[in-house]
Amino acid sequence: MRYFTDELWTKINSECKEEREKASLQWYKNAEEYSKVFKNVEKLLPKKFIKIYKQHSFHDYNLKRIEVIHGKQGYIDPVAVSIFVEEAGEVWNITYKKIKKILINYEQQPDVFGKKRRTYEGFDTYGYDEFFQVDEKTLSHEILFASGATILIHFEKISVNKIDS
């Protein structure tokens, strides 16, 4: 993540008012800079995807699962990735095809509450994301989760569909 980093997000939620205010100013500046970048990338994304993405943004949605699908060997770009997110009973599937790169960065958070902790959040909620153009054909989508986990995918095709419950 270049603009919406885990470190900056943590500072925005700091207990220190001064740190929060400074981080909020930086967040606002980064958001303005990223919106300029996104306007260029938006033109390269499918219209159906943009319409749904702008309506839902998927912020605060829960990650249900990630699927890495491997097609037939010997074919060009046999790998696809599907991410399923859910909020208030609505499940959406974001599918990436013609994958060039996949990175999943996840570390279980330490149990700071000792044995009193009853739930573990895993990836936690979908926080923020960034799209970039990698080259003439390839786009990048990176998602930052509340836990600090990230998913980075370089792809040529993306789609989104609502999954019936």
What is the helix (H) or strand (E) element at residue 152, kind and residue range?
Answer: strand 150-155
Last residue of a domain, one of 43, 60, 77: 43
Residues 28 and 57 in one domain: no
Domain span holding position 22? 1-43
Residues 77 and 143 in one domain: yes
pLDDT in tens, 65-91: 999 999 888 788 889 999 999 999 999
pLDDT in tens, 12-58: 999 999 999 999 999 999 999 999 999 999 999 999 999 999 999 99
pLDDT of residue 69: 94
Tell whether the model's pLDDT for residue 115 goes beyond 80. no
Instruction: Quote the strand ranges of 43-115, DSSP E.
Output: 62-70, 79-87, 90-97, 101-105
Residues 77 and 8 in one domain: no
Residues 21 and 100 in one domain: no
Residues 76 and 94 in one domain: yes
Tell whether the model's pLDDT for residue 3 goes beyond 70. yes
Instruction: State percent of the chain over pLDDT 70.
Output: 92
Residues 38 and 80 in one domain: no
Residue with tokens 């974001």: 94
Residues 99 and 39 in one domain: no
Give the Cα separation of 155 and 141 in Å (integer): 8
pLDDT of residue 120: 63
What is the helix (H) or strand (E) element at residue 130, kind and residue range?
Answer: strand 126-133
Residues 97 and 139 in one domain: yes
Residue with tokens 């919406």: 4
Average of per-residue pLDDT values in the chain = 92
Query: At a CB cut-off of 8 Å and minimum separation 6, what does 135 contact?
Result: none
pLDDT of residue 74: 78
pLDDT of residue 85: 97
**Residue 117, helix vs strand vs coil:** coil
Residues 4 and 85 in one domain: no
Number of domains in the chain: 2
pLDDT of residue 116: 56
